Amino acid sequence: ITDKGLLDVLLNAHDQERWHERLRVGDTNRIHRCRYDGVASRADANKALRNVSRLLKPNGLFAVLSYEPPQGRSAFFEAPELQFRCRSGYPIEDGKGNTLFVLEKKAEDFAGKDVDAASFSEPNADDSTRRA
């Protein structure tokens, strides 16, 4: 699954809220009122991520291209219920304000332990013992 901007759109109010809070730091002479609803923004993003996790097969990949640096997005991918792990070598920042995250859905064996893709095998189509 590839995301090129959806998560950024959903988290726009969250990002604006964070930017607004940074603007307030050290400025006690002016009253700032943020008009963005970061709570709803985060809830929408979390719902979308839960659906991505639901759709991915074990060891399936989710690529996200975002304008936020890793510290602005990584926390959203770390929720345990999503079962995501960041692929080795990611995230990558291009120096122009874009970050590529490649996440993999964890696979679990029957004992609940993480396993890797090499331990899975596809069923044999010629297997006469398969049930319908």
How many residues can be counted in the chain?
132
Per the CB < 8 A criterion, the answer to whether 107 and 58 are in contact is yes
Cα–Cα dist 43/11, whole Å:
9
CA dihedral 97, 8, 14, 72 (to 10 degrees): -40
Q: What is the pLDDT of residues 61-95, one digit of tens each?
A: 999 999 999 998 999 999 999 999 999 999 999 99
Q: What is the pLDDT of residues 6-49, one digit of tens each?
A: 999 999 888 887 776 655 555 555 555 556 678 888 999 999 99
pTM: 0.71
Per the CB < 8 A criterion, the answer to whether 80 and 32 are in contact is no
Cα–Cα dist 26/41, whole Å:
26
